[in-house]
A and B are shown apart, each in its own frame.
Chain A
């Protein structure tokens, strides 16, 4: 783990219209780790990711990504810096084929050879996608869509991956596969992941750090073991 955090926010305020959803977020995501963001519905987890990737403009605070402040960087430039956000509901482009979806992840890159190599790696990683490369996005199952969304993000060769509820609507076995893959990517390539999850158990099974959000603030930041074991915390914020 390097000393420099991959991502750091201080006093981040963002929301829709006049009502701030995020009310001062101080978050540090160390490089090469998986950080889980937990919390009830409406706590602001998705808004946090959308503010980090610039889909909504923060109205206050700072975001420092890999040592560079992101203030005002256009959304479409962030992928070049190595930040890729996989939105909730997976964002597979239904009208495009599997292969076109994946190529979309590598379009920004100048190095066409490496973009092709990244595509081949993703096909190795997700064998069902390789079999269905000519199928349209809307023909895929839920699990395949998640694989496609994740695979497409990996084609972009991210250093920081923002994942919004990858387990949503998936069978436990498929969720477990995805979590195992995140762990493998972290260990093999040093990928940093900020993982928003409702599924607390599977998120904590891979996370190195855990933060709990409530009403637009981070109320707990600690290790996953502490979150699992502290009964009071669990009852108060995680509901189990």
Chain B
């Protein structure tokens, strides 16, 4: 029982990060019908920026802030400089371009920093706090929950309560009508990519310290897990991404806890395959509703 509780909490903590990363994928999918396969590599790039700043200044938090700013900028640059020019004739075009971006980023990071693991310290203790006999959450887990909760709430408010959010949603759903009503659709796209990349950077900063360390491929498996989470939730649905992220975190935690961590990568792929076979539209997809 103790082990089950521990695995549950640990799964939720990782799931929160998957949720954030999946949410970033959903933001871009909703606005552009592109699955940003480069999101993992982009997040790693921002984590390296944080690493450089943190080692130079000795301040973790300065690096943390730099990662988010670098995410905003990288997202905008990728949208303006690359994705805007992708021909939408075939959905595969954007996928190939994104995969090309992954290769460029990972090769570039490898050249600049070397293909080795760099230390990625956590800002808080990762030792679980115990209540009696029971090992519960670490301070770092609490930080992860708080950061993801704060950002998800802020995004929800931005999208549902502010004029910019209304513009972004309108631009995503009906670009032509939005332009006719004075919405700068191109600007909204860039802003959406910037936000999503910053969210991806946050997820990367949160999860890399819990893994082996910083490496150009550090987010590869996280990307697959978060992509699975986004598909579970239905790529269209932000709440679906959050629920999907937590669910995938839990499932993977149980798999790794009871079956061994070697099985986890396999479990991610099996899960993805199962969702695509059984309910390709996702559990929270609006597709069924929209055909009415």
Contact = CB atoms under 8 A, between A and B. Distances in A.
Interface of A: 53, 55, 75-80, 84-85, 87, 91, 93-96, 100, 103-105, 107-108, 138, 152, 156
Nearest to B291: A138
Contacts of A78: 180, 182
A156 B182 contact: yes
Interface range on chain B (Cβ under 8 Å from partner): 20 to 34
Interface in B270-292: 286, 289-290, 292
Interface in B181-210: 181-185
B150 interface: no
B177 interface: yes
B290 A85 contact: no
Interface stretch (B41-49, B130-138, B163-171): B163-171
A105 B174 CA distance: 13
Contacts of B117: none
A80 B182 contact: yes
Nearest to B236: A95
B182 A77 contact: yes
A45 to B, nearest CB: 17
In terms of DSSP, what is the predominant structure of the interface of chain B?
helix
A93 B176 contact: no
Interface in B21-51: none
A92 to B, nearest CB: 8
Nearest to B178: A104
Contacts of B184: 76
Interface in B103-125: none
A76 B289 contact: no
Contacts of A96: 166, 169-170, 173
A75 B181 CA distance: 9
A105 B169 CA distance: 14
8 contacts: A55-B176, A87-B177, A91-B176, A94-B173, A100-B170, A104-B166, A104-B181, A105-B181
A108 B182 contact: yes
Closest 8 CB pairs of A and B: A108-B182, A79-B182, A91-B177, A75-B179, A93-B174, A95-B173, A76-B179, A85-B180
A103 B182 contact: no
Nearest to A112: B163
Contacts of A76: 179-180, 182-185
Interface centre among A78, A79, A84, A107 (most CB of B within 10 A): A107
Contacts of B173: 93-96
Contacts of B169: 95-96, 100
Contact of B180 (A84, A95, A103, A107): A84
Given A93-B170, A107-B182, A156-B181, 5 more contacts: A100-B166, A103-B166, A104-B166, A104-B183, A156-B182
Contacts of A156: 181-182
Contact of A138 (B176, B177, B289): B289
Contacts of A103: 163, 166
A95 B286 contact: yes
Nearest to A105: B181
A140 B228 CA distance: 34
A151 to B, nearest CB: 12
Given A95-B286, A107-B163, A138-B290, A79 B170 contact: no
Nearest to A149: B177
Given A96-B169, A138-B290, A107 B181 contact: yes
Contacts of A138: 289-290, 292
A95 B61 CA distance: 39
A108 B181 contact: yes
Contacts of A79: 180-182
A94 B287 CA distance: 12
A226 B286 CA distance: 51
B176 A87 contact: yes
Interface centre among B169, B170, B177, B182 (most CB of A within 10 A): B182
Nearest to B286: A95
A152 B180 CA distance: 11
Contacts of B170: 93, 96, 100, 104
Interface centre among B179, B289, B290 (most CB of A within 10 A): B179
Contacts of B163: 103, 107
B187 to A, nearest CB: 9
A53 B181 CA distance: 11
A172 to B, nearest CB: 26
Nearest to A108: B182
Interface string B60-97: 00000000000000000000000000000000000000
A84 B181 CA distance: 7
